[in-house]
């Protein structure tokens, strides 16, 4: 069963509201996973690609291929959580600092080196998530989704073979027989690097490892050698139904992988440019990769403004399973609607209202929100003074004391006795302290036309300033019940009257979340004419 079923509550059948609820849920999970305060979670759009932007402090999730229905199924929610945890992982392992430790390289090498480092960082993050029993299910859901349409690696391209082995976790051993000697030797070194990255290391050690391996392997990457058998089925990037594949994930300890066992805390394994192997040997079986190569140190220019994963891939080139894709972006219209929903605190309370009606089927969607855009109006000052006087009289009554005498003489009618010893005493009026938790609910349907709407809002605002109540209005329009909170400090927003009068649903909807003993003051000009 999907893990998110255990904790996700707020859902909606409206795409914008569902998107806002998804972002709120992801933000909470990100915070629990270690994302620092100040970072926000957003969806990728065509103008803002996916990844984590360390300068803007944004985690941008590419949800276009997932978020295409509302409410979002729990299985897809698990994948979204996995995506978010992966991007948070880049902040946790300080990927942005890796780039600052690498020296500038030739522009022709930059994109390929960026891809090389991104593969390594994805390996490091994936392994940390797989080692966490609380997060491994989300990582597995993400992995299964990401490799669903990934094609087979080209035997002549080293980075594709590394992706297939270390990130896709599947390898066609029949195809491996077609590897050239150069690719074979290079894969042995990448197997060693993969095993080292699957232990925790700081960004300084990782940057040094990338620098050393890149200087040794870049010739094989930039100038791919020809495979031994160009006419074989394994020479291309197609799939082979007769091939034998390994699909074990890194958290499975019985996968048969025999990567070099490197103790945590040790320095990076040294690349060996002179390692000799038989061309048919399994690249995972070479554990003797000793030796160093102090070749040219090539590294990318420090890219503080570069976002992780922003790599322009070559057409039809196998990229990381989590590399950004154009279809990961949601439409600009949906993104804008979600942003509005977040700012106005939209929430779908249809299910909660239905429970209050003993599970009756509520045909209408009920949305609660907060007004943030309409002009503000001041409360009625004269009415406020009158209400203030009434409140003052009430406070005086609260301070009144009853005595058991009249004109200095005992009056039996005013005697109050304690049941235990029948002692005569003075009794203080028992009024509750303060005003109860209050919400003022205003009918602003189409019948509240003209000046009526502003007058009732001014009156509600006057009372709200005295008892610290919330001011809500309601109507029915756009095929849903709209409950909108109008108070903004001591001022009240305007509202345009429209639609029908779903009073019953509105009263129940506005009361959800109130403490016991709360008070709802309902102001309306007539009976309800829609809903329960």
What is the pLDDT tens value at each position of the chain, 532 positions in all? 788 988 988 888 899 999 999 999 999 999 999 888 888 899 999 877 777 777 888 888 999 999 999 999 999 999 999 999 999 999 899 998 998 888 766 777 888 899 999 999 999 999 999 999 999 999 999 999 999 878 888 888 999 999 999 999 887 777 777 788 899 899 999 999 999 999 999 999 999 999 999 999 999 998 888 766 654 444 444 444 344 444 444 444 343 344 444 443 445 566 764 433 333 333 333 333 223 333 332 333 333 333 333 334 344 578 888 888 889 999 999 999 999 999 899 999 988 888 888 867 788 899 999 998 899 988 888 888 888 888 777 666 665 555 566 666 666 665 555 444 455 555 555 555 667 888 999 999 988 887 888 889 999 989 888 888 899 999 998 889 999 999 988 899 998 899 899 999 999 999 998 888 888 999 988 777 776 6
**Rounded Cα gap, residues 230 and 215, in angstroms:** 28
In DSSP terms, which residues pair with 488 in a beta bridge? Answer: 491
Instruction: Tell me which residue has tokens 């409950």.
Output: 483
Neighbouring CB atoms inside 10 A of 526's CB total 11
CA dihedral in degrees (200, 202, 208, 212; nearest 10)? 10
- Going by C-alpha positions, the residue among 223, 238, 215, 229 that lies closest to residue 180 is 229
Residue ranges with strand state E in 110-231? none
CA-angle at 453, arms to 451 and 458, nearest 5°:
95
Q: What is the pTM of this model?
A: 0.72
CA 137 to chain centre: 17
List the domain boundaries for the chain: 3-77+327-341, 103-301, 349-379+436-523
Cα 322 to Cα 84, 150, 267: the distances in Å are 11, 11, 28
pLDDT at position 362 is: 81
CA 432 to chain centre: 43
User: What is the model's pLDDT at position 230?
Assistant: 54
What is the model's pLDDT at position 399?
A: 58
CA dihedral 491, 494, 497, 499 (to 10 degrees): -80
pLDDT at 515 (0 to 100): 86
Cis amide bond preceding 71, omega within 30: yes
As a whole number of angstroms, the distance between CA 471 and CA 450 comes to 20
Count the helix, strand and coil residues of the chain and give each as a percent rounded to the nearest 5: 40, 15, 50
CB crowding 11-27: b at 16 or more within 10 Å, else e: bbebbbbbbbbbbbbbb
With contact defined as beta carbons under 8 Å apart, do 366 and 480 qualify? yes
Q: Contact at 8 Å (CB) between 130 and 136?
A: yes
Contact between 417 and 385 (Cβ < 8 Å): no
pLDDT at 427: 53
β partners of residue 500: 476
For 47, residues 6+ apart whose C-beta sits below 8 A from its C-beta are 332
Angle formed at CA 270 by CA 264 and CA 272, multiple of 5 degrees = 140
421 CB contacts (<8 Å, ≥6 apart)?
A: none
Three-state SS sequence of 61-112: ECCCCCCCCCCCCHHHHHHHHHHHHHHHHHHHCCHHHHHHCCCCCCHHHHHH
Q: What is the largest CA-CA distance in the chain?
A: 121
């Amino acid at each position: 069963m999907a893990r998110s079923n255990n904790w996700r509550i707020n859902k909606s059948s409206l795409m914008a509201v569902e998107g806002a609820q998804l972002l709120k849920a992801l933000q909470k999970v990100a915070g629990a996973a270690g994302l620092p305060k100040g970072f926000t979670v957003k969806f990728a759009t065509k103008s803002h690609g996916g990844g984590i932007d360390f300068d803007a402090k944004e985690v941008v999730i590419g949800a276009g291929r997932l978020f295409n229905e509302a409410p979002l199924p729990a299985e897809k929610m698990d994948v979204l959580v996995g995506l978010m945890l992966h991007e948070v992982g880049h902040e946790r392992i300080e990927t942005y600092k890796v780039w600052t430790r690498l020296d500038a390289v030739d522009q022709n090498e930059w994109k390929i080196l960026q891809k090389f480092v991104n593969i390594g960082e994805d390996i490091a993050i994936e392994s940390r998530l797989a080692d966490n029993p609380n997060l491994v299910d989300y990582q597995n859901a993400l992995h299964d989704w990401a490799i669903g349409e990934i094609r087979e690696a080209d035997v002549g391209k080293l980075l594709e073979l590394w992706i297939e082995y270390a990130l896709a976790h599947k390898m066609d051993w029949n195809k491996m027989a077609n590897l050239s000697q150069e690719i074979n030797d290079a894969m042995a070194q990448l197997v060693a690097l993969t095993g080292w990255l699957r232990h925790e290391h700081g960004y300084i050690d990782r940057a040094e490892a990338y620098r050393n391996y890149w200087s040794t392997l870049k010739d094989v990457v930039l100038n791919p050698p020809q495979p031994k058998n160009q006419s074989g089925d394994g020479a291309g990037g197609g799939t082979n139904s007769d091939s034998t594949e390994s699909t074990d994930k890194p958290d499975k300890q019985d996968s048969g992988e025999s990567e070099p066992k490197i103790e945590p805390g040790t320095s990076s394994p040294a690349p060996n440019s002179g390692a000799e192997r038989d061309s048919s040997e399994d690249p995972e079986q070479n554990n003797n990769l000793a030796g160093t190569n102090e070749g040219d140190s090539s590294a990318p220019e420090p890219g503080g403004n570069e976002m992780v994963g922003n790599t322009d891939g070559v057409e039809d080139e196998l990229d990381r399973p989590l590399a950004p894709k154009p279809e990961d972006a949601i439409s600009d219209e949906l993104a804008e609607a979600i942003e509005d929903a977040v700012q106005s605190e939209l929430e779908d309370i249809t299910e909660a209202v239905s429970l209050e009606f003993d599970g009756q089927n509520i045909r209408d969607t009920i949305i609660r929100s907060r007004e943030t855009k309409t002009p503000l109006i001041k409360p009625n000052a004269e009415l406020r003074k009158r209400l203030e006087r009434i409140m003052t009289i009430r406070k005086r009554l609260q301070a009144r004391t009853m005595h058991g005498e009249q004109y200095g003489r005992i009056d039996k009618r005013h005697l109050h006795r304690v049941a235990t010893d029948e002692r005569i005493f003075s009794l203080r009026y028992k009024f509750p302290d303060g005003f109860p938790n209050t919400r003022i609910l205003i009918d602003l349907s189409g019948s509240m036309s003209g000046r009526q709407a502003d007058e009732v809002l001014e009156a509600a605002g006057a009372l709200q300033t005295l008892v610290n109540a919330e001011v809500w209005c309601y109507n029915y329009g756009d095929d849903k019940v709209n409950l909108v909170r109008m108070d903004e400090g001591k001022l009240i927003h305007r509202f345009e009257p429209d639609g029908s009068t779903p009073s019953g649903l509105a009263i129940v909807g506005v009361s959800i979340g109130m403490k016991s003993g709360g008070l709802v003051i309902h102001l309306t000009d007539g009976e309800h004419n829609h809903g329960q």
